[in-house]
Copies of this chain bind each other. A is one copy, B any other.
Amino acid sequence: MHQDGISNRNIQVSVEAEDFDVNQEYHWLRENQMRDGAIVTFVGLVRDMNAGEKVQKLCLEHYPAMAFASLQSIAKQATERWRLGKIRVIHRFGELDLGDQIVFVGVTSMHRGDAFAAAEFIMDFLKTNAPFWKKEQTAKGSRWVDAKQSDQDKTASWQK
């Protein structure tokens, strides 16, 4: 476990309906720092197929008071495990179309292994702990997406 002196200014979390601009986020991760040579980003998009059905639209419900705190807490946990520079997490809510951006995670570090691990850790915990729920619209009507056991397993694997 690594206890890092990462300042709150360097952990930025947003929960918003608006779309985000990956370019702008990448520039924030890169600017005003010369120490971190590694930047890893993850973007999640609305896929056209899920559980064998063609998806037309997605509606993301969330628990506003908890969503922000939950993402912030996951980012902080990452800083306790790895030496990181900056962390950016964005999660959208509301109505989303096919191909739309849902989630952004960006991490900087001196070491690429730490940046990769931290970004994946944040995504894995977000998947099982952040209070968001997807409702898909398909030709057969709308349905709530089922949580996946594989996501639970991934989160559990970090706790070994």
Contact = CB atoms under 8 A, between A and B. Distances in A.
A112 B116 contact: no
Range, interface on chain A: 20 to 34
A48 B23 contact: no
Interface stretch (A34-42, A74-82, A86-94): A34-42
A135 interface: no
B42 A37 contact: no
Given A47-B35, A49-B35, A154 B40 contact: no
A57 interface: no
Stoichiometry, as copies per complex, reads: 2
A121 to B, nearest CB: 10
B39 A47 contact: no
Contacts of A34: 47-48, 98-99
Given A22-B23, A30-B99, A34-B47, 9 more contacts: A26-B43, A35-B48, A37-B47, A38-B43, A39-B43, A40-B40, A40-B42, A42-B112, A113-B120
